[in-house]
Structures are given as C-alpha cells and as structure tokens.
Amino acid sequence: MQVYGTGNGPYAIDFMSMTASQSATHTIITGTAETGKTDTYLVTISSNPNSPIVIQRKVHINVIPNSITLNDGTLGVIISGESDFDVKNIDTNSVRLGTGKAKPLGNKGILINKKRNLLLLFNKKQTGIAQNDTQICLTGNTKDGTGFIGCDAITILPKTTHEQSSLLSLFDNIDSKETSDIHQFIDTIKD
C-alpha cells in the first residue's frame, strides 16, 4: 500500500481485521505526508484465519559491503533516515537481519549527506545468507510498535575472493570527526 503526498500534513490509516473466532484487531498507522513523496507499507494477510494482519513500513537500507563472501566477518547495514522516519525512534532490540534473524552486535547514529542514519553491525554467519541469495532483508519495530522492513541486493562471491569494499569505504561523504567516531565504533565491535 502506498500513501502519496499531495500536500503536507499528518495522515492516519485504520486497519481492521477479524479472525475466524470473531476476534477483531484494530491497527492505526500514522505518518506525515509531504508533497511529491510516497510512503510504502507492506500489508501481509495470512491464510491462517486466526493470524492478525502484519503491517510494515518500507525503509531504505544499504548493506555494506554488498558483494560478500560466506566467510566469517561483520556485515554493516545502514538504515536511511527520512524527514518522516526518524532512526532515533527505532527499537534496536527488535531489529533482525536475514533468514537467520541475526541480532545487531552494535549500532551507531551517523550523519550522511546531512541526514541522520543508523549503522548496525551483524555477525555475517548469523544472518543465514546462502550461496544463491540475491537480497537480504532487515526487519524491526519503532519504539511505538510500528513495524518496518528494508531489503537490499547482495552478491555472493566465491569464498576465495577478497571482498572488494569494506565497511569504512562508504564513509567518504562524512566529515573527519564523524569518520573517526565510526572507525572507533567498528573497532570496538570487532574486538
């Protein structure tokens, strides 16, 4: 489902569902519309008549590096902040990556191109990445319970290949103090 911004201001979407046992579930999603901007939600209705509707906001993520081997190591994911999606409101304890539902090893707020983003680091093996995978998805909730999902394309390299980009290669657009803080954060997680 998509919400198209034809003006600026708050919006609310009501979802009602009824289970086979006549139990009703009511969910309200809120956001802020901006002219020309689209908010996208993934609405999943289960074939199980007793399952509630699952609503997740789509967010933009970048997996770093996105050309990876299946060797041990750390995988970074940046969740992009938007004017109506503040990464400070993410419940980092709810975030999971991949089919293995890996929990973050750590997280750090970072500025990229003057936008607040969230960098999360994961143990690559715990993500469940397999040889034929072409994308990996991250899920989580905001502190108010709103679900979100973001997916990014990945390329699996042969185990003997050296990964071409590192976690630090992304940070060319960041000032030197922020880059230094990121280096220290990544070194802390790797130790």
Q: Among residues 12, 30, 58, which one ends one of the domains?
A: 58
Among 180, 124, 154, residue whose Cα is nearest residue 61: 154
Which run of H or of E encompasses 176? helix 176-190
Do 27 and 86 have their domain in common? no
- Residue 161: the pLDDT is 58
Tokens of 30: 């809120």
Instruction: State how far the Cα of 16 lies from the Cα of 26, in Å rounded to an integer.
Output: 5
Q: Is the pLDDT of residue 189 over 80?
A: no
Q: Among residues 31, 58, 85, which one ends one of the domains?
A: 58
**pLDDT mean over 173-179:** 53
Give the number of domains in the chain.
2
Tens digit of each residue's pLDDT (9 = 90 or more) over 87-110 = 999 999 999 999 999 999 999 888
Do 84 and 144 have their domain in common? yes
Do 67 and 108 have their domain in common? yes
Do 99 and 52 have their domain in common? no
Instruction: State how far the Cα of 91 lies from the Cα of 108, in Å rounded to an integer.
Output: 13
Q: How far is CA 120 from CA 36, 57, 75, 149, 157, in A?
A: 30, 19, 8, 14, 22
Tens digit of each residue's pLDDT (9 = 90 or more) over 126-175 = 999 999 999 999 999 999 888 999 999 999 988 765 554 455 555 544 55
Q: What CATH number should be reported for the domain holding residue 74? A: 2.60.40
Do 103 and 131 have their domain in common? yes
Do 71 and 133 have their domain in common? yes
Instruction: State how far the Cα of 144 lies from the Cα of 159, in Å rounded to an integer.
Output: 41
**pLDDT mean over 56-69:** 90
Q: Give the count of beta carbons closer than 10 Å to the beta carbon of residue 88.
A: 10
Average pLDDT score, the chain = 83
- Residue 191: the pLDDT is 45
Domain span at residue 105? 59-191
**Dihedral pair phi/psi, residue 165, rounded to 5°:** -125, 155
Better-predicted residue by pLDDT, 31 or 77? 77
| pLDDT level of residue 184 (50, 70, 90 thresholds) | low
Instruction: State how far the Cα of 136 lies from the Cα of 174, in Å rounded to an integer.
Output: 25
Do 102 and 136 have their domain in common? yes
- Residue 140: the pLDDT is 97
Do 165 and 91 have their domain in common? yes
Question: Does the global pTM surpass 0.85?
Answer: no
